[in-house]
């Protein structure tokens, strides 16, 4: 018997899994990418890089519930087959009602509030990924404005067109969990935006050693495990296909990590940790559009290619093609997300199985291996739409911020020299003495803290290669 606490359409297991999956995806952004960004940059950029991600997560949620969710997953806005009608989703009646995507004709066995939150965490991580291209020079005030504008004029268009019932959805483009909507869009927007904003200081581009590789590994682990919710939650139910998506995600990611590491070992003679993390990310990205519709052997192939094609893109094309040397894409988001996203989207057109598509409730009869070669062309069309959208919209938004709102896109040179302390008045690692204590017993050299270090007969301990002058490579390391 239906009641307010147990309506007929509610499945407690589906609701529990969807909330769990959403939380796993949220953890990918905070603390996952926050930790990666804080550790992978120079020490003077650790706080600013992490906080750009942290801010984006909070800002996207407010925009999402006030107007953006309905633009991505609501009713079609007039005759426009690429965006929904904006509006708020904050009333209790709305939050408790049955989750339905009206333009797509899809429903789920849980409340709309669960669906809203699940879709939000995908929108948020897209913005956080874009930040990776802008680290080390973008004005934080400009970033604060860019986040809601790009969400409103780019992300929701891609999401509605491919997922929410728009024209690419109705034509049968497959994007299981965001290879196009999230990764190709963020990789394209990040690269174009980096070109518009301009590069970091020359010294920052030449000395790119991470300040904390162990922190990067912690963030990477959270990112990998969180992807179980990223891809496992997209059937909108705790179905057999959700299990297949989780397994295939991990197969492809492991394969990609191994291939990237082997290529590093062959060509650079060292198995780099940061390289392995890049390979992990490209594996996660490439399997995302295909996770629940390809078989395990398809996941192995996708992982092999995602560990090698973006490796070539980053280490060969990225170093030899003038465009990639000119555009300062700080973390190589173009290679890890745009290239891997296109690759995965194309491969799903080849390897999507009939059984996988049926399990995911798609009408598409599979990809080229099932005799449906048209799917390959549909995937190419979907990729071209997302690329074109962001080639146009991203610079338009940035130029609006710069020339209409009069907010500089880059920090002043004097701020770029200093970093976190000049922007936020904080430093990532504070090793000051406790001013509430007297002299430390057993060390007569150290007296009460006066704001200055006492004289020493020996140099201070190394702080990971960072000298007293933050803008100069220590003499002991210059030979590197």
**Residue 260 forms part of a structural domain:** no
pTM attached to this predicted model: 0.87
Tell me: pLDDT of 295 over 70.
yes
Q: What is the pLDDT of residue 242?
A: 96
Tell me: pLDDT of 478 over 60.
no
CATH number at residue 141: 1.10.3430.10
Task: Give the chain's domain count.
Answer: 1
Q: What is the pLDDT of residues 42-83, one digit of tens each?
A: 999 999 999 999 999 999 999 999 999 999 999 999 888 999
pLDDT band for 431, please (50, 70, 90 cuts).
low
**Residue 72 forms part of a structural domain:** yes
What distance in Å separates the CA atoms of residue 70 and residue 48, rounded to the nearest whole number? 31
User: Radius of gyration (Cα) for the chain, nearest Å?
Assistant: 24
Q: In the chain, how many H helices and how many E strands?
A: 24, 2
**Residue 134 forms part of a structural domain:** yes
**Residue 355 forms part of a structural domain:** yes
**Residue 279 forms part of a structural domain:** no
Mean pLDDT across the chain: 89
110: enclosing H helix or E strand: strand 106-111
pLDDT band for 2, please (50, 70, 90 cuts).
low
CA 380 distance to own-chain centroid = 22
Q: What is the pLDDT of residue 480?
A: 36
pLDDT band for 450, please (50, 70, 90 cuts).
very low
What distance in Å separates the CA atoms of residue 399 and residue 392, rounded to the nearest whole number? 11
Listed range (179-188, 276-285, 307-316, 469-478) with the worst mean pLDDT: 469-478
In the chain, what percentage of residues exceed pLDDT 90?
82
Q: What mean pLDDT comes out for the span 99-112?
A: 94
Parent domain of 157 = 31-97+104-218+286-295+331-414
Tell me: pLDDT of 477 over 60.
no
Q: How many Cβ atoms are within 10 Å of 390's Cβ, its own excluded?
A: 27
What distance in Å separates the CA atoms of residue 353 and residue 376, rounded to the nearest whole number? 13
Q: What is the pLDDT of residue 1?
A: 58
What distance in Å separates the CA atoms of residue 323 and residue 319, rounded to the nearest whole number? 9
What distance in Å separates the CA atoms of residue 252 and residue 249, rounded to the nearest whole number? 5
**Residue 61 forms part of a structural domain:** yes
Q: What is the pLDDT of residue 289?
A: 97
Tell me: pLDDT of 169 over 80.
yes
**Residue 230 forms part of a structural domain:** no
Q: What is the pLDDT of residues 388-397, one digit of tens each?
A: 999 999 999 9
Listed range (99-108, 148-157, 236-245, 453-462) with the worst mean pLDDT: 453-462
**Residue 274 forms part of a structural domain:** no
Tell me: pLDDT of 107 over 70.
yes
């Amino acid at each position: 018997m239906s009641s307010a606490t147990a309506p007929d359409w509610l499945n407690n297991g589906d609701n529990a899994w969807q909330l769990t999956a959403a939380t796993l995806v949220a953890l990918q952004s905070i603390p996952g990418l926050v930790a990666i960004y804080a550790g992978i940059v120079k020490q003077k950029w650790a706080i600013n890089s992490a906080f750009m991600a942290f801010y984006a997560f909070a800002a996207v949620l407010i925009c999402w519930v006030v107007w953006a969710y309905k633009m991505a997953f609501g009713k079609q806005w007039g005759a426009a087959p690429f965006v929904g009608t904006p509006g708020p989703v904050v009333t209790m009646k709305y939050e408790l009602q049955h989750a339905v995507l009206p333009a797509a004709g899809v429903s789920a066995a849980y409340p709309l509030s669960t669906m809203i939150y699940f879709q939000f965490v995908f929108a948020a991580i897209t913005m956080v990924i874009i930040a990776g291209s802008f680290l080390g020079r973008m004005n934080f005030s400009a970033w604060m404005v860019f986040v809601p504008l790009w969400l409103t004029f780019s992300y929701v268009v891609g999401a509605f067109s491919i997922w929410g019932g728009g024209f690419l959805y109705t034509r049968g483009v497959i994007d299981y969990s965001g290879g196009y909507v999230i990764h190709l869009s963020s990789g394209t927007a990040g690269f174009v935006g980096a070109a518009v904003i301009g590069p970091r200081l020359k010294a920052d581009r030449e000395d790119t050693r991470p300040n904390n590789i162990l922190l990067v590994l912690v963030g990477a682990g959270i990112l990998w495990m969180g992807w179980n919710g990223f891809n496992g939650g997209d059937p909108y139910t705790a179905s057999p296909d959700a299990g297949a998506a989780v397994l295939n995600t991990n197969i492809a990611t492991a394969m990609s990590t191994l291939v990237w590491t082997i290529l590093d070992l062959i060509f650079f003679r060292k198995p780099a940790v940061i390289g392995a993390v890049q390979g992990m990310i490209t594996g996660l990205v490439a399997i995302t559009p295909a996770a629940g519709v390809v078989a395990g052997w398809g996941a192995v192939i996708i992982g092999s290619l995602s560990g090698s094609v973006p490796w070539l893109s980053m280490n060969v094309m990225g170093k030899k093609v003038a465009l990639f040397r000119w555009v300062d894409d700080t973390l190589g988001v173009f290679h890890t997300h745009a290239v891997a996203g296109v690759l995965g989207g194309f491969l799903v057109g080849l390897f999507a199985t009939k059984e996988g598509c049926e399990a995911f409730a798609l009408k598409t009869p599979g990809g080229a291996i099932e005799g449906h070669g048209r799917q390959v062309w549909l995937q190419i069309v979907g990729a071209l739409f997302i690329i074109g959208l962001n080639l146009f919209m991203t610079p338009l938004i940035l130029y609006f911020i710069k020339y209409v709102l009069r907010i500089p896109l880059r920090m002043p040179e004097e701020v770029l020299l200093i970093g976190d302390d000049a922007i936020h008045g904080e430093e990532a690692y504070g090793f000051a003495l406790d001013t509430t204590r007297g002299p430390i017993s057993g060390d007569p050299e150290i007296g009460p803290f006066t704001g200055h270090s006492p004289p020493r007969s020996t140099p201070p301990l190394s702080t990971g290669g960072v000298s007293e002058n933050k803008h100069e490579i220590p003499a002991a390391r210059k030979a590197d």
